[in-house]
Chains A and B, each alone.
Chain A
Amino acid sequence: MSARDQVLGAIRRSLKRGALSGDARVAAEARLREHPVNIVPVRTTGTQDDRVRLLEQWATFNQATTARVAAAEVPGAVADYLAANNLPARVVMAPDPALDRYDWNSRPMLQRRRGLPEDADRVAVTGALAGIAETGTLVFASGPDHPTSLNLLPETHVAILREADVVGPLEEVFTRLRARYGEGVMPRTVNTVTGPSRTGDVEQQLELGAHGPRRLHILIVRD
């Protein structure tokens, strides 16, 4: 008997039945297909403005920083943020074509490279698939436009989030993922990131920048 049969057989013996069949199977299949929403916190309801404010509030609560800017101001906001934090004006950017809508040449002093991060890269600039107002969380999906390591390796992460991509609860992210990739399909990795990397492993005191970024700055772009 294969190990697989051994485990599944043991489960079925304990549940005192054979393989799931009949109505119970139909119901379980329907649950996977229909993925009903459970309980969604009331705090996530409200207008789009409310949601953007809520996202800012929770992102700040989780030690991220935020700024609201117009599309034309994005390159300047990135450059100013780096200067204000004594960081070099040099960034590695996601190959994401959505970032091309910003006029990066308006800040010629900001050096940009597109692609995977290297050891010397201290700042990553990426887009975000969505922002979750409920917890101030950013969502990044892996793909040719967005290497996962950009979210993790550089010490500083500047994420550009369009206001229209701010959703209420996590469930709305799933709706967007299904619309983009198909039912039951996910990209290799979906990172949901809430504030900078942190640890409480030394005497339960919070320290930022354990393995991932020490700083997370969110530029919320007005539509």
Chain B
Amino acid sequence: MQSTAHAFKDNVEHALVDGNLQQSLALLKVGFSERRRQAVERLPEFEALRDRARDIKNHALAHLDFYLEAFEAKVTALGGHVHWAPTAQDARDIILDICREAGARTVTKSKSMIAEEIALNDHLAANGIEPVETDLGEYIIQLRREPPSHIIAPAVHLTKDQVADTFFEHHRKLGFDKRLTERSDLVAEARQVLRRRFQEADVGITGANFLVAETGSSMLVTNEGNADLGNTLPRVHVVIASIEKVIPTLEDAATLLRVLARSATGQEWSSYTTFNTGPKRPEDPDGPAHYHVVLLDNGRSGVLGTQMQDMLRCIRCGACMNHCPVYAAIGGHAYGWVYPGPIGAVLTPQLIGVEEAGNLPNASTFCGRCESVCPVRIPLPKLMRHWREREFERHLTPASVRQGLALWAFLARRPALYRRVTGIANRVLALFGRVAGRYAWLPLAGGWTRYRDFPAPQRGGTFHAQWRARGGARR
């Protein structure tokens, strides 16, 4: 997908005045986070499981090559194929080749962030193969030609009426000529339409939540069961997964699953948790005859061993965005690329460059809620701060910010001067603002005062002055 992360500030301006979006985001604020809280309360071991989940992922990353090779050996022994894709382009080409070899005209897809990352749908469509998204949310946004706005709830930015309009527009030609108003009817209609698509598809493409080295299994979690239809009905099943998805054993999968659904939707367990291992066996009555796993690197190997490695623990639950005050205000599209929210602010500069996405790590209040709910304890604020430093080092920060910081640094290194200047500034501000108690406009502070008033200083002088007046000791 074409990134608009560079236009983050414009995206935000649009998001803040989008009524439908704001209506949808209001639901998000109470939904996922409250359900997560209840699920955590029901499981006394939850915090210990988070520690263990973190340790499992750290161990897997430190032995990544070993577990990938073990996984590959298992899949190959069963007659499956493992493909290695250093870049997004490699992955697109590999999948297109598999589809062509299968003579595919349509492929059903179950929601995969990796497929979004490599813009797989566009590539298949450009080459005459129709990709059909089957996760309901993903299907809705595919019809609307929109990118997902949330990693587990891709259509969370839309209202029911918008969905109804979309279905009415697109399903009319399939013989559904009534605009539906009930949610259950919308779901039922999509089920009917997509059931046919599953039956006619030649290839089913799914992502994977985990790859299990012990058994060569790819694991997938859904609530709808769409991935299971996609890995059972078509003749060919293609799994696309990034390299950091591999974990050692089934027991390790159990631990990660215990924190995944609870962190994501507040469910105890997702409705469908499926272990796929190789193609159908000769005696199996159904299942795909061909089974492929595409392992995507796309820059991840370069993150190993760096101070950014922690981001590779991510299990894509979405808890960080569900709890982020910035995400709650602007939604996912404003982030401009595949991964929104705090994890997007950390991943996106890594995957498409800090030049393009340098704004994203700045879109945080550093309140720390994301880190406090992350099931694998990724220190998201620390990683965002790291990107801010990189951005500053590379002189990508706007001149006004750089000059402002330089001025502040100049003063901060000269305490006596600092006290004098802040004292004067305090008195001047007080002189002009004390009556109203706030300013609607200030020179050089337009970025702030455009949206809200700037408070006038309190009585009693600067903090330094008050500290001294109260007898505070100098250190």
Contact = CB atoms under 8 A, between A and B. Distances in A.
A109 interface: no
Interface in A148-203: 148-149, 151-153, 169-171, 174, 184-203
Q: With a 10 A CB-CB cut-off, give which of B250, B257, B276 has the most chain A CB atoms.
A: B250
A164 B251 CA distance: 22
A158 B460 CA distance: 75
Contacts of A148: 228, 232, 286-287
A152 B225 contact: yes
Nearest to B301: A10
Given A3-B90, A38-B52, 10 more contacts: A7-B68, A12-B65, A32-B70, A62-B269, A184-B74, A187-B281, A194-B273, A198-B271, A202-B183, A210-B223
Nearest to A201: B137
A39 B52 contact: yes
Contact of A11 (B65, B226, B275): B65
Interface in A1-36: 2-4, 6-8, 10-16, 19-20, 24-25, 28, 31-32, 35-36
Interface in B217-258: 217, 223-226, 228-229, 231-233, 243, 248-252, 254-255, 257-258
B228 A152 contact: yes
A84 interface: no
B463 interface: no
Interface of A: 2-4, 6-8, 10-16, 19-20, 24-25, 28, 31-32, 35-39, 41-43, 58, 61-62, 95, 115-116, 135-137, 142-144, 147-149, 151-153, 169-171, 174, 184-205, 207, 209-213
Interface of B: 24, 27-28, 31-32, 43-45, 48-49, 52, 56, 62-70, 74, 83-86, 90, 134-137, 140, 153-156, 159-160, 163, 183-184, 186-188, 190-191, 194-195, 213-217, 223-226, 228-229, 231-233, 243, 248-252, 254-255, 257-258, 265, 267-281, 283-287, 295, 297, 301-306
B84 A6 contact: yes
Contacts of B278: 188
Given A7-B86, A35-B251, A203 B159 contact: yes
Contacts of A189: 228, 231-232, 274-277, 287
A188 B187 contact: no
Contacts of A61: 268
Q: With a 10 A CB-CB cut-off, give which of A19, A144, A184, A191 has the most chain B CB atoms.
A: A184
Contacts of A35: 214, 248-251
B84 A4 contact: yes
Nearest to A203: B160
Contacts, number: 262
A47 to B, nearest CB: 20
Contact of A135 (B225, B268, B304): B268
A13 B302 CA distance: 9
10 tightest CB-CB pairs across the interface, nearest first? A212-B225, A201-B137, A210-B224, A10-B301, A14-B304, A35-B249, A186-B277, A135-B269, A201-B136, A14-B305
B251 A16 contact: no
Contacts of B48: 39
Contact of A32 (B140, B232, B249, B285): B249
Contacts of A143: 281, 283-284
Nearest to A178: B250
